[in-house]
Amino acid sequence: MTSVGQAPGGFATGATPGQRDTRPGSQRITGPSDLYSPLVNGHAAAAYLRVFQPLAAYSPGERSGWAAYVEAGQTLPASVLVGQEERRGLARALGLAVGADPEHALVIRDSEGGTVFVCPLRSELRRLQSMVAFSTSLDSLPHEVREAFLSPDDLARAEQELERLHGEAPEARNQMLQAVWHVPLHWFALFSAEERQLRPAQGGQPASLTYQTTMSSARMRVSRALGILRDLMQDADVVAAVEELREWLYAFDPDSLVQLDYAGLASVIAYPDLVADLSAGEIREALEALEEGDLERSSELYRLLTERWATVRGREASN
């Protein structure tokens, strides 16, 4: 196919937009602006987990719209579309006026079977969901502190807009998860080492690192990981993160594709480090070691993984 566009076992929860970062030593609260992290060399230091559904999986109205979008040749590379979205989001976060923008999507064409797979950006839906989730994450804080992050008026508007969007398109779902300055380790459990695709920088385009698999494979792998962790993992947050990921995957068509894209994150990691980054294979090894009772091996793999990603996350403070 061509694209257009501290627990043993190797898992860490990692905060996503709208969640408090509860890792030891961290007092940071992530919020809506993290959807649009600071630009580094023109790209945000963010990675994405995406679901591409076949056109046939969408409602008739949406299916015809995306079919026309594809036929009209409006598709753009992922790096271009995501870059545009990030710059618009950053402008919005800075209080600048941002005009309406047509809905865009990332597209994958199956060169063998001719199937077209679509991942709508749904930028507005994702932004509003992030704001509401962020507000919920602040419930334990004093009222004055909550308002400093998100005013009641802004929250009320977000909830009203979200209700309107759901009313207009009740079947629309967020097909894209985002993480800034890291890749949550449980995302790697969906992929095999053989599905890793690394491309060096060329033609003015930065280096890229992606994984892509079928939905059936992703579901099988996350279910296996969850079985191992439920039996052997005492950290409830780790298990909950994998359960959430599994539930998210099962909301989509079983013939979909699942893709992990380092996107702008690949721009802040030196190319030799990208070459050496074999996280998906190491997660698989860590799970197998945990299942076999080899806690020493599992813990060692986890240590290497967390140290690698801690180094990447440490660069956030200097940007």
Q: In the prediction, which pLDDT does 93 show?
A: 61
Average pLDDT over residues 221-225: 97
Long-range contacts of 306-315 (CB under 8 A, 24+ apart): 306/12, 306/185, 308/277, 308/279, 309/12, 309/182, 309/183, 309/185, 312/181, 312/182, 312/265, 312/268, 312/269, 313/181, 313/182, 315/45, 315/181, 315/268
Q: In the prediction, which pLDDT does 137 show?
A: 65
Mean pLDDT estimate for the chain: 79
In degrees and rounded to multiples of 5, residue 46 shows phi and psi of -135, 150
Q: In the prediction, which pLDDT does 37 show?
A: 40
Question: Given a cut of 70, is residue 189 above it in pLDDT?
Answer: yes
Q: In the prediction, which pLDDT does 210 show?
A: 97
Q: In the prediction, which pLDDT does 205 show?
A: 84
Q: Which of 37-46, 157-166, 216-225, 305-314 has the lowest mean pLDDT?
A: 37-46
Q: In the prediction, which pLDDT does 5 show?
A: 38
Q: In the prediction, which pLDDT does 167 show?
A: 67
Q: How confident is the model at residue 75 (pLDDT cuts 50, 70, 90)?
A: confident
pLDDT tens readout for residues 27-64 = 333 444 344 344 444 446 889 999 999 999 999 989 99
Average pLDDT over residues 286-313: 92
How crowded is the C-beta side of 149, counted as CA atoms within 13 Å?
A: 25
* % of the chain surpassing 90 pLDDT: 44
Q: In the prediction, which pLDDT does 294 show?
A: 94
Average pLDDT over residues 137-159: 70
Angle between helices 123-137 and 78-93 (to 10 degrees): 50
Q: Which residue has the higher pLDDT, 13 or 75?
A: 75
Question: In sequence order, which ranges of the chain are alpha helices (DSSP H)?
Answer: 60-71, 78-93, 123-137, 143-149, 152-168, 215-232, 236-249, 271-276, 279-291, 295-314
Q: In the prediction, which pLDDT does 204 show?
A: 83
Length of the chain: 319
Whole-model pTM: value is 0.77
Q: Which residue has the higher pLDDT, 145 or 231?
A: 231
Average pLDDT over residues 236-254: 94
